[in-house]
Structure 1
Amino acid sequence: MSVSDSLTTQRVSELVMANRAIRAPNYRADHDEGVRFTDLERGLQWGADAIPALMGLFRVEQDARDDHPDGWVGFARHWRGGTLRLDFDLFSAPEEPDEILVVTAISGREGEKTIVDENVGEIELSDKVPTEEEWEERRKRYQATRRKDDTDGSAAVKAYIAALPDWKHEVAAQFDQIVQQEAPHVRRAVKYHQPFYGVEDQGWFASFSAFSKHVKLTFVCETYLDPEPPSGTGPDRQALDLKKTDTLDEEQVASWVRQAADDPGMGW
């Protein structure tokens, strides 16, 4: 993972509007310990709060914490009058032209003219507090951009995999490689906060998601695979759950990938 030498609020907004922002697997919507921010405690949300805030940052700083060498911190005024802090990484890969914002956390901060952030220090607040209507307009513009975006999302999937820790990263990277080998013309995207794999103009045939104790590989197919994976609710949701102690059967997973790619079960 590498980051640019500098990052501006305008660049963050441009990346969001280019659909180059994803939620990290370990994304948190909360407050740091000891911070009271009652109005926003009722439910910070990814689409309703993180995206409009990213499009309205008034300050961006590199994360000063020793364990976040590639991290960034941004601040935005909320329409309720408070301030939101967003933590994110800027992911880039040598073979991918697109940088990806990987947002790891959103939390509230109190203050009228200045706030004191535990990592950044004293911050003078912006006088420009958006209205609720302006906040909603940002969200709608982003949603319209997402609906129109038909580019391959390989960079976003790689950023998602890179953000996974330890053995989960290894399982996801192994699965991604198998998909590439068995379906060379695969299209990728991060949808519903998880990576998806598809055949252009036919549909999505596989995805994966990471949980606290396992990684779920899901095959999205019109018919049942042979042999049927051990879990799932139907042919369009056949799944294999892998825990830390499990070994991925590459030959079997490759067979399931080939079958699902031949008969994608989720509309494009």
Structure 2
Amino acid sequence: MSASGSLTAKRVSELVMANRAIRAPYYSKDHDEGVRFTDPEKGLQWGADAIPALLGLFRVEQDTRDDHPDGWVGFARHWRGGTVRLAFDLFSDPEGPDPILVVTSISGREGEETIVDEDFGEIELSDQVPTEGEWEERSKQYQAARRKDETDGSTAVKAYVAALPGWKREVAARIDEIIQCEVPDVRRAVKWHQPFYGVEDEGWFASFSAFSKHVKLTFVCESYLEPEPPSGSDPTRQALDLEETDTLDEEQVASWVRQAADEPGMGW
């Protein structure tokens, strides 16, 4: 990942509203000090907590961790009264437009006037606490802007791949290259926290996601591919699971990509 220069709360908000924010593949939902915000069972959530927080940061600091040279940390007051702490990296593509903001963790902090952060010490809180309605309105504004976004998602996919560790990054990058080779006019996007690939006016035909022990390549079609991928319950969920010791059959994947791209896929 590579990005430089200063970062402000306003700039973070601009990137989010331009649909330039994604969740890292290994996004961590830590619940420091037992803080729960939106859902007592699920804790902090992407759409309900992370996005509104990113749109209302009162403080942004450069990350001090050695393994995040392009990392930043932001703080926002939650409508329930606590504070949300977000860590994120900026990914810049020399061939792309604005950088991608990659959220790597989100956690809660208790405190009415100040909080004590492990990296930045005592932080005086903003006295501007949003109402529940204002918090929800931020999320609605983001969703409306995201639905209207028609820009190419190649940089977001590159950011997702770059955030993967070790062998998963290599496999994901090769899958991306194969799809680009077989479908030169492919359209990319990061949706539901995973890269998607589609054809204009035909819909999304493939996606992949990373798990703790494997990478899953999924095809979305109206009929079964030939030969059928080894896993999946129906044509819209035909999948190939790759573990670290598996060899990627590039010719077979290329064949599946061509077949899937020729069929109607999932709507935009």
Cα contact 1:185–1:199 (8 A) shared by 2: yes
1:176 Cα deviation after fit:
0.1
1:159 alignment counterpart: 159
1:172 aligns with 2:172: yes
1:214 aligns with 2:214: yes
State the Cα deviation string for residues 165-184 of structure 1 (Å, max 9, x = none): 00110110000000000000
**Within 5 A, what are the aligned runs for 1:1-268?**
1-32=1-32, 35-37=33-35, 42=40, 43-268=43-268
Identity %, equivalent residues? 80
Compared with structure 1, are the counterparts of its residues 265 and 39 closer, same or farther at alpha carbon in structure 2 (3 Å cutoff)? closer
Looking at structure 1, the residues matched to 60 and 76 of structure 2 have their Cα atoms a distance apart, in angstroms, of 9
Compared with structure 1, are the counterparts of its residues 176 and 38 closer, same or farther at alpha carbon in structure 2 (3 Å cutoff)? closer
State the Cα deviation string for residues 106-152 of structure 1 (Å, max 9, x = none): 10111121111001222111010000000000010011111111111
Cα contact 2:38–2:49 (8 A) shared by 1: no
1:68 Cα deviation after fit:
2.1
Cα contact 2:81–2:129 (8 A) shared by 1: yes
1:156 Cα deviation after fit:
0.6
Moved more, 255-264 or 6-15: 255-264
For 2:103, the aligned partner's letter is V
For 2:205, the aligned partner's letter is F
1:264 Cα deviation after fit:
3.2
1:40 Cα deviation after fit:
6.3
Looking at structure 2, the residues matched to 138 and 89 of structure 1 have their Cα atoms a distance apart, in angstroms, of 22
Q: Secondary structure of 2:26's partner?
A: strand
1:221 Cα deviation after fit:
1.3
Count of paired positions: 266
1:38 Cα deviation after fit:
5.2
1:224 Cα deviation after fit:
1.1
Compared with structure 1, are the counterparts of its residues 139 and 207 closer, same or farther at alpha carbon in structure 2 (3 Å cutoff)? same
Compared with structure 1, are the counterparts of its residues 234 and 247 closer, same or farther at alpha carbon in structure 2 (3 Å cutoff)? same
For 1:73, the aligned partner's letter is V
Q: Secondary structure of 1:47's partner?
A: helix
- Which structure 2 segments of 5+ residues have no match? none
Looking at structure 2, the residues matched to 68 and 119 of structure 1 have their Cα atoms a distance apart, in angstroms, of 13
**Deviation beyond 3 Å, 4+ runs, structure 1:** 38-41
State the Cα deviation string for residues 54-91 of structure 1 (Å, max 9, x = none): 00000000111222222110000000011010010011
For 1:232, the aligned partner's letter is G
Cα contact 2:37–2:44 (8 A) shared by 1: no
For 1:204, the aligned partner's letter is W
Cα contact 1:230–1:239 (8 A) shared by 2: yes
- TM-score by length of structure 2 reads 0.96
Looking at structure 1, the residues matched to 11 and 234 of structure 2 have their Cα atoms a distance apart, in angstroms, of 43
Q: Secondary structure of 1:231's partner?
A: coil
Cα contact 1:198–1:264 (8 A) shared by 2: no
CA RMSD between the two structures: 1.2
1:39 Cα deviation after fit:
5.4
- TM-score by length of structure 1 reads 0.96
Q: Secondary structure of 1:233's partner?
A: coil
For 1:194, the aligned partner's letter is Q
State the Cα deviation string for residues 7-26 of structure 1 (Å, max 9, x = none): 00000000000011001101
